[in-house]
Amino acid sequence: MPIKTVFNTSIDYVSVLDEHGDFDEKLGKDLIPDDDVIRLYEHMVTCRHLDEIAFKLQRSGRMGTYPQNMGQEAASLGAAYAIRKTDWMVTCYRENTGLYWHGLPMEYILLHWMGDERGNQIPEDVRCTPLAIPIGTQMLHAVGFSWASKYRGEDDIAVTFFGDGASSEGDFHEAANFSANLDLPTVFICQNNKWAISVPTKIQCSAPTIAQRGLAYGMECVQVDGNDLFAMVKVVREAAERARKEHRPTFIEAVTYRLGDHTTADDARRYRNAEELEQWKLRDPLIRLRGYLESKKLWDQGKQEALDKRAESIVGEVIHRAESIADSDMNDIFDHMFAKAPDELLRQRETLRTSSIGQDPSQLGASTPSTAPSVS
């Protein structure tokens, strides 16, 4: 038998506005109206300011561990802009900019990192999930949403975000296999920021791209400049259309970089080259987008100063709402667990004990006085 090729493919790299300010007029034509580019830039600047203030809140003891989003804003924002409000955004913990654009109130993220579970009580009209801290679990949830949409005959899709390190988790492979084999409308966006905490991508993935991991499952795969807002809008919009019309998943590798530490509990100087960081600062998505606007005479220093002042005011109000929220009631953990609490849970609430003896001390014998309050 002669040898023959049974599979051959290629993966495109998409860039519209590069770090040098070069804009591909053909790819970028009519991609984002100028007015929307301005709105998106203003949103990114406001979110960057909130990110910087959140860092200071943690350092001053007013908030717990926090993962900065600095440097990765374009990836999630471009995706959020390209999809519908009825689509699901299923994220990990570095997609604040996109979540806010999709409708999540800004203070919810702060409440989450302040340890207040009300930050995870997403408003009913906002199609996003609480932040996923375990690595990779959210991808399986996204597949569940996309399967439900297909089952109901709807055309809503699920877009899930994860890091390059998470693509090595079993959860990713299960989610990808399930989504591709069942023809589900899922968009997988891997934010390859070069580091899985302190492990460089080249150590945890020997392939030349993360994108090709989707090939094994029969997905369309593409690599994109994740710091290019225009390119992100283009590839996500195409993936969303494929998901709606063909019920087929897409794997998008967004090449980006986190300019801060992994979290405020990390010190990236111990493992990351300072020169590498300086190179990526020049590719900052905010700098790139501002340069584009200035080249089109749509932005100037006066507008920037006004925006900075407005962003400071908006963030100040967000901080105030987060820190001035009324204290939660201890009974909330009981009252919001079930629609109708079972008797055992009611006894726990009234006695503040989980053991049967704590709930009913009379079990110790007739000589022991019963101190447990009764439950009517």
> What pLDDT was estimated at residue 369?
47
Q: Are residues 355 and 249 in the same domain?
A: no
Q: Tell me if 272 is assigned to some domain.
A: yes
Per-residue pLDDT of 191-230, as tens digits, reads 999 999 999 999 989 999 999 999 999 999 999 999 999 9
Handedness of CA 11, 15, 20, 23 (dihedral sign): positive
Q: Are residues 374 and 297 in the same domain?
A: no
Average pLDDT, the chain: 93
Q: Are residues 67 and 36 in the same domain?
A: yes
Is-catalytic flag, 217? no
Is-catalytic flag, 262? yes
Q: Are residues 359 and 218 in the same domain?
A: no
Alpha-carbon gap, residue 371 to 108, rounded angstroms: 41
Question: Can you tell me the mean pLDDT for 96-111?
Answer: 98
Q: Are residues 168 and 245 in the same domain?
A: yes
Q: Tell me if 75 is assigned to some domain.
A: yes
Neighbours of 19 (CB within 10 A): 18
Q: Which two tokens stand for residue 236?
A: 């996500």
Name the residue with higher pLDDT: 243 or 344.
243
Q: Are residues 308 and 371 in the same domain?
A: no
Q: Tell me if 299 is assigned to some domain.
A: yes
Q: Are residues 216 and 344 in the same domain?
A: no
Side-chain half-sphere exposure of 257, counting CA atoms within 13 A: 15
Name the catalytic one among 102, 127, 213, 262.
262
Residue 35 has pLDDT above 60, yes or no: yes
Residue 363 has pLDDT above 90, yes or no: no
Asked whether the beta carbons of 129 and 55 are under 8 A apart, the reply is: no
Strands in 158-163's sheet, in edge-to-edge order, are 12-14, 220-225, 250-255, 186-192, 158-163, 88-90
Q: Are residues 350 and 310 in the same domain?
A: no
Q: Are residues 157 and 89 in the same domain?
A: yes
Is-catalytic flag, 258? yes
Nearest one of 129, 133, 200, 138 to 165, comparing CA atoms: 200
Q: Are residues 303 and 254 in the same domain?
A: yes
Asked whether the beta carbons of 43 and 290 are under 8 A apart, the reply is: no
Per-residue pLDDT of 309-350, as tens digits, reads 999 999 999 999 999 999 888 888 788 778 888 988 888 888
| Band of pLDDT at residue 368, cut at 50, 70 and 90 | very low
Can you give the pTM of this predicted structure?
Answer: 0.90
Q: Tell me if 6 is assigned to some domain.
A: no
Per-residue pLDDT of 109-120, as tens digits, reads 999 999 999 999
Q: Are residues 319 and 347 in the same domain?
A: no
| Domain span holding position 127 | 12-323
| Band of pLDDT at residue 364, cut at 50, 70 and 90 | low
Q: How far apart are the first and last CA of the chain?
A: 82
Asked whether the beta carbons of 155 and 149 are under 8 A apart, the reply is: yes
Name the catalytic one among 112, 242, 258, 290.
258
Q: Are residues 128 and 214 in the same domain?
A: yes
**Contacts (Cβ under 8 Å, ≥6 apart) of 204:** 164, 165, 168, 196
Report how many domains make up the chain.
2
Name the catalytic one among 20, 59, 271, 320.
271
Which CATH number does the domain housing residue 290 bear?
Answer: 3.40.50.970
Phi-psi bin for 103: left (phi > 0), alpha (psi -120 to 50), beta?
left
